A and B are shown apart, each in its own frame.
Chain A
């Protein structure tokens, strides 16, 4: 590190609270603002580059929220530009193949197109395909409420998972972000998870452990979630939150939404199990949007 960088480092460390980052020299979590491709590039750079998470020759699953039959402006699914940017970053980092799929709630033939994600991801070089009913496998989840469950075979066979959820209101869960987004990788009688949702989501988080989480807050669904349906519910925030700690990212998303992370059941449940840190004061957050937390 040269003298100038060292001085910058000292200045920044005086302004921002941090602790664990000292060991790796990199922040745990970055909040960036701006057009999706630029914001993501800046965020990943601040984290040390996508190469930290994706190795050459990896098969990567970029898991968007692609569940509802709505066009992008309704913020019911992940912003297709965000998905495309993530796909591109993975391929540039040397991934051999990037797969994009989701076990949609609505008919995938409509969702994949209407969300704009299929076109955007394919354009960026990803392999986009529908989920096949026969390719779910019953596996041991080993969780507190989920012992065994049907998991999509392909999601078990990739080298890395980059979880790319969108920040949305949800009546039962309060908010749906990264941990809830993992439900798109399982099958079976998913509705039953809702009976013990917080604990089930923590189980899924423990099982999948994505290497990176990119929370899309470019357009946020503030009400009527998880599928919205009115432009009045959409708030343009042009923000992305990127991090390795799925609990911290979700907690940060809660804060951006205006809620206490404690209010979103899966966050304290996951925190209690040691899956991540929900107290944002103990997380090294780098803000590239010029604001304080």
Chain B
């Protein structure tokens, strides 16, 4: 059991709370802590964006490299349209928030791209130094291995795409500071809407202000940068820069400042809002124009504890926590195995890892309950698929040589792979060998057999989702 909640940030994410509520039509109790962030924003505005959000912090750090003078608030309205699109599609049960939610994006990018990159770079660098006889840095390497490097090099499909997107999000800060936070972030948009209801006010004293324009240039979000000299409350990060750096000390924040500064409305435009809602609504059926419900799902092996597919897709926020925690690295981001709607949801690739028999970690970290938490005893009864032997390639069958590595590694106490003694025809004559046979009643589809099969080009024993316990879709005759 993990002693502390690693998915903490996600549980405090109001956007995920809202979209999950909409798409599942059920109150996700595990996400209720997010209401505290809503409360905080109602009171103090977008302090989350300015002080708490980790992606915001990264964007802030990178924005410091941007020396160009700010030129107006830019397209700050875009994120609201994105938000409305997401909310509309959630209402129609499509949960695509995960791709654009900042916490999900950050965790996923760090898991799939950044951490593997760091590990590969560190290992390559130190190995190369070691090989060239430069051993002085070994103690540093030992320290890194003990504390900051992974035990096993993490490898994930589509790491390149995820990494490039993450880099793009970060590099946009060079175009305009806090680009993501001000232009694209749907959570920022949600919190902005909530912030506009807050009693917080800002006042620029007309007596002290000498119109130097410093606050406008320094404001990271453009909230202080209104042409009309008004304050965009819904955009303000409460960073306090304008107050602290004003040479005339003319700026003040508070709740009872008398006549506070007039707030500029968001002016989103009714037509545009309706258009974004409509686009979100259309997305749902468009994504589901897929043949997947009936055919072609052989790669769709979900972790044990996963809800039936339709419900799973409504909850999964593609955050990557489960993939991060999977011990063997078997859980991977899907490409099209689960259809367009399932991109980056977790599926097993048993060529890269397997489901460790006693491990129950993925259910413990899933923030939305798309993967339910199971006990070891419950998990032992869950089938995520079944193994099938390709007898045309399996070594004992096709070459008359003993192997049964698959049987050796099968973790089920009664052994879901058994062997029978049989005679096999080979060019050198008949041979008696131990032939592996899968007992489908006992197999749970954990995939260790496929993972350990010595035929590296293509394993001769392969797991498919046939016979999985959840959902009742892939049924077997027995």
Instruction: List A residues at the B interface (Cβ < 8 Å).
Output: 69, 105-110, 114, 130, 132-134, 170-172, 189, 191-192, 194-195, 197, 224, 226-230, 233
Contacts and interface: CB of A to CB of B under 8 A. Distances in A.
5 contacts: A69-B411, A130-B151, A171-B434, A194-B408, A224-B415
B328 A194 contact: no
Given A107-B356, A195-B402, A233-B413, 18 more contacts: A106-B356, A110-B359, A134-B123, A134-B127, A170-B408, A171-B408, A172-B404, A172-B407, A191-B454, A192-B454, A194-B405, A194-B408, A195-B395, A197-B402, A226-B408, A228-B413, A229-B412, A229-B413
B160 interface: no
A-B pairs with the 10 shortest C-beta distances? A229-B413, A191-B454, A230-B413, A191-B405, A107-B327, A195-B401, A194-B403, A172-B404, A192-B454, A194-B405
A230 B328 CA distance: 24
Contacts of B36: none
Contacts of A110: 327, 356, 358-359
Contacts of B356: 69, 106-107, 110
B207 interface: no
Given A109-B151, A130-B151, A171 B419 contact: yes
A194 B151 contact: no
Residue in A105, A107, A110, A226 with the greatest tally of chain B CB atoms within 10 Å:
A107
A153 to B, nearest CB: 12
Nearest to A226: B408
A171 B328 CA distance: 25
B129 to A, nearest CB: 12
Contacts, number: 71
Contact of B452 (A114, A191, A195, A229): A191
A171 B404 contact: yes
B248 interface: no
Residue in B403, B404, B405, B408 with the greatest tally of chain A CB atoms within 10 Å:
B408
A107 B326 CA distance: 11
B109 to A, nearest CB: 25
Contacts of A189: 454, 456
Contacts of A191: 403, 405, 452-454
B395 A172 contact: no
B409 interface: yes
A289 B459 CA distance: 48
Contacts of B404: 171-172, 194
B407 A194 contact: no
B358 A69 contact: yes
Contacts of B407: 171-172
B446 to A, nearest CB: 11
Interface in B124-142: 127
